[in-house]
Amino acid sequence: MNITVQESPLGEVMLSKEDFHTIIAMVREASGIVLTEAKRELVYSRLRRRLRALNLDSFSAYLVLLNGSGGDAERVRMINAITTNLTGFFREGHHFEFLGDDVLPTLPRTRRRLRIWSAGCSSGEEPYTIAMTLHRAMPDLASWDARVLATDIDTDMIEAGTTGRYAMERAASIPAELRRAHVRRIDSETVEMGPELKSLISFRQLNLLGSWPMKGPFDVIFCRNVIIYFDKPTQRALFDRYADMLTPDGHLFVGHSETLHNVSDRFRHLGRTIYRRIR
């Protein structure tokens, strides 16, 4: 006699083991993000909102939709829903101190070209922090050909970054002198990044595991709290591509819990999750 053991429901809709494994396989194929059983509740809570929005009563019905003729658009929304977007202005502030104090002053003044990439930019706080750092560290910034590329797989985050509006409490971590110079109050609850910051940044949707249309080279790449979602082979391939996109002495910044140890031999560790490409 065959006995079917059902998973315990997380809320009023059941997420079966089979449906969960199908979903995480789709997510991995689409984005490279590796989700384990430990992320089961996160997947449930994020996608349960999609079920409500679509008026679906089961994850099985959701999978039918994803695999149907109109499933491509919903797959984008699924990735948007699952992607973790934990960020903030001047998060891991030592990275921006190093950028302003050690990297920018050493750039060749004869070239006057600067390219920085915020890979996995989330809702935009990181690239706006980079832009503020450039303004603070480079009084002659206007005479430079300087650009910040901000990319993320989540289209909702790209839209948020492009808009450049944030809840006032989120801007509290911006140093006061930079808030006064670059942040505009919209109302009692909302602020907006200044046009001098927006003009430096180009927000673009990008899957890091897909093709990269930009040519580079970049002087600096920020890829923080991104590789923790990838397996080791994917990390190795990604850092090889980053090395190829950097200038000979370009710098790479990764997240506080991330490391290139046993992942890439093309960078020298400078400490505090800061790396420089080896010539």
46 carries an active-site annotation: yes
> What distance in Å separates the CA atoms of residue 262 and residue 24, rounded to the nearest whole number?
26
Q: How far is CA 189 from the centre of its chain?
A: 25
Residue 135 contacts residue 196 (beta carbons within 8 Å): yes
> What distance in Å separates the CA atoms of residue 94 and residue 97, rounded to the nearest whole number?
5
Backbone angles phi and psi of 204, in degrees to 5: -140, 140
Residue 252: closest CA among 243, 261, 244: 243
> What distance in Å separates the CA atoms of residue 121 and residue 123, rounded to the nearest whole number?
6
Residue 274 CB neighbours (<10 A)? 19
Handedness of CA 276, 158, 37, 18 (dihedral sign): negative
> Which residues make beta-bridge pairs with 155?
none
> What distance in Å separates the CA atoms of residue 11 and residue 16, rounded to the nearest whole number?
12
Q: Which of 40, 46, 91, 276 is catalytic?
A: 46
Could you tell me the end-to-end alpha-carbon distance of the chain, in angstroms, rounded to an integer?
Answer: 66
Q: Which of 152, 154, 219, 277 is catalytic?
A: 152
Tokens of 160: 């948020």
6-21 b/e with 16+ CB inside 10 Å = b?
eeeeeeebebbeebbe
Name the residue type at position 252: L
Name the residue type at position 124: G
* Residues acting as catalytic residues: 46, 152
